[in-house]
Structure 1
């Protein structure tokens, strides 16, 4: 099966250096022209430059996914440049946060706003473009393992990712008559494999840094506090011994956006090494004692990865 996105145009929101950039690169390597959006102008530009270094065609379209006028503006900019949009990947989200006892109303509200309006506004305006022009396109929302199961220390993230999951099912019903497919994709915390990110932050990138208020991270110092039970070591808890990388995510999203997935809509595709399927009482063998997955098929051909994917 030779997956090809030739002739298609993709818009990826939240195309920052980790998952978003990996998905954008994958879509380009499979043949799509890609528009990279991020609220950070430099992040959008860097994602587009990474694609071009790898022989693809890309533009940056920075903008705030919660501002309808800006969304309309960058959607129109993509259409003016490339003529159409066939693929939308809703990846923009606020990471991190705190647990329910400590999170601020301000952060909670903004995190939910980015996910809710980001998915809604982009799906609305790209969906209208597709429907009006008879484009039987594909829309993918990036969910998270935190949207399906409970984790300490990320109450806002867990809330909005859970909302993303049902948004996808409802939007899939709205858009099915137009031949437009809407699905979600669930990874779990991947090991960064973007050479730029590795060069900046070292092997493991953002995920190796201490989580001050991450999953099960420390909160207050009151005498009544109970300790979080999360140690921060993910791979040993994954049946296949690895959480994978954005490249793993990119390959699967590209397939989901291809014509081979023409009847797949309203579903969630999980790529997490078996993490979600695992029973709570099952403790996997050490990664060194498992066969593990097949070798990664790389997408970034512009530099050697100076890390082992673990």
Structure 2
């Protein structure tokens, strides 16, 4: 099966250095022209540079996904430049946060706003464009394992990712009459594989977070005597059945297929590429990573820079 997105034009929101950049690169490598959005103009431009050095075509369309006029503006820019839009990937989200006892109303409100209005406004206006022009397009929203099960320390993130899941199903029903498909993809703690991100932040790709995110997932947020730990902090047994949850490249392969005509009747569904992490029963302890065969070798998309050199070693 030769998946091809040749002739298609995609918009990817939140095309920052990790998952968003990986998806944008994958769409380009499979033949699409990609418009990279991010509220950080430099992040959008960096995603474009990554695509271009891998032989693809892309432009940066920085903007706030919660601002309706800005959404309409960058949609118009893409249409004027490339003549159409076939694919939308709603990836923009506000990461991090705190647990329910400590989160601020301001952070909670903004995190939910980015996810809710970001998905709604982009799906509304790009979906309307597709419907008006007879384009049987594909819209993919990026969810999270936190949207399907509970995790301490990220109450706002868990709330809005859960909302994304049902937004997808409802939007799929609204747009089905037009041949426009709406699905979601659920990442589970992917390992960064963007060479620029790895070079800047180290092999783990851990981002330096603003003050609002410093506590991390499940971290302690107070010193009161009544506090109890939210999660186990000691050494963990292996948790992923196949030994790894994958990378943004693994995500990109799946999203590209989901945006292709091979998935023409798939709508209102969620896709997971996580080595079996979400499917695992809570009481099941997988074998140690050293005892596993592991997945087949990664099919790389970024064929320049550090990633290419590491894979060739």
Q: Under TM normalisation by the shorter chain, which class is it?
A: over 0.9
Cα shift at 1:234: 8.4
Runs of 4+ in 1 over 6 A off after TM superposition: 232-235
Q: Trace 1:135-284 onto structure 2 (pairs within 5 A).
A: 135-206=135-206, 212-231=214-233, 236-284=238-286
In 2, the alpha carbon distance for the partners of 1:226 and 1:220 equals 10
Structure 2: runs of 5+ lacking an equivalent: none
Cα shift at 1:206: 1.5
**Corresponding residue of 2:61:** 61
Q: TM-score, normalised by structure 2?
A: 0.95
Q: Does 2:91 correspond to 1:91?
A: yes
In 1, the alpha carbon distance for the partners of 2:35 and 2:168 equals 22
Cα shift at 1:89: 0.1
**1:234–1:158 distance in 2 versus 1, CA, 3 Å:** farther
Q: Does 2:46 correspond to 1:39?
A: no
**1:42–1:146 distance in 2 versus 1, CA, 3 Å:** same
In 1, the alpha carbon distance for the partners of 2:76 and 2:288 equals 50
Asked if structure 1 preserves the Cα contact closer than 8 Å seen for 2:201 and 2:207, the reply is no
In 2, the alpha carbon distance for the partners of 1:235 and 1:86 equals 44
**Corresponding residue of 2:109:** 109
In 2, the alpha carbon distance for the partners of 1:148 and 1:164 equals 10
In 2, the alpha carbon distance for the partners of 1:87 and 1:171 equals 15
In 2, the alpha carbon distance for the partners of 1:298 and 1:234 equals 30
In 1, the alpha carbon distance for the partners of 2:120 and 2:236 equals 31
Cα shift at 1:283: 1.4
**Corresponding residue of 1:79:** 79
Cα shift at 1:212: 3.8
In 1, the alpha carbon distance for the partners of 2:137 and 2:236 equals 35
Cα shift at 1:235: 9.2
1:24 match: secondary structure: helix
Asked if structure 2 preserves the Cα contact closer than 8 Å seen for 1:90 and 1:142, the reply is yes
In 1, the alpha carbon distance for the partners of 2:131 and 2:218 equals 43
Which string of whole-angstrom CA distances, capped at 9 and with x for unpartnered residues, describes residues 241-271 of structure 1? 1111000000000000000000000000111
Cα shift at 1:208: 10
2:31 match: secondary structure: coil
In 2, the alpha carbon distance for the partners of 1:208 and 1:280 equals 31
In 1, the alpha carbon distance for the partners of 2:112 and 2:94 equals 8
Which string of whole-angstrom CA distances, capped at 9 and with x for unpartnered residues, describes residues 251-310 of structure 1? 0000000000000000001111111101111111111111111110000011132779xx
Cα shift at 1:215: 1.9
1:304 match: secondary structure: helix
Cα shift at 1:229: 1.9
- Count of residues paired in the alignment: 307
CA RMSD of aligned residues (A): 1.7
Asked if structure 2 preserves the Cα contact closer than 8 Å seen for 1:139 and 1:182, the reply is yes
After the TM superposition, which of the residue ranges 239-248 and 25-34 deviates more from structure 2? 239-248
**1:4–1:284 distance in 2 versus 1, CA, 3 Å:** same
Q: TM-score, normalised by structure 1?
A: 0.96
**1:24–1:235 distance in 2 versus 1, CA, 3 Å:** farther
**1:247–1:282 distance in 2 versus 1, CA, 3 Å:** same
2:306 match: secondary structure: coil
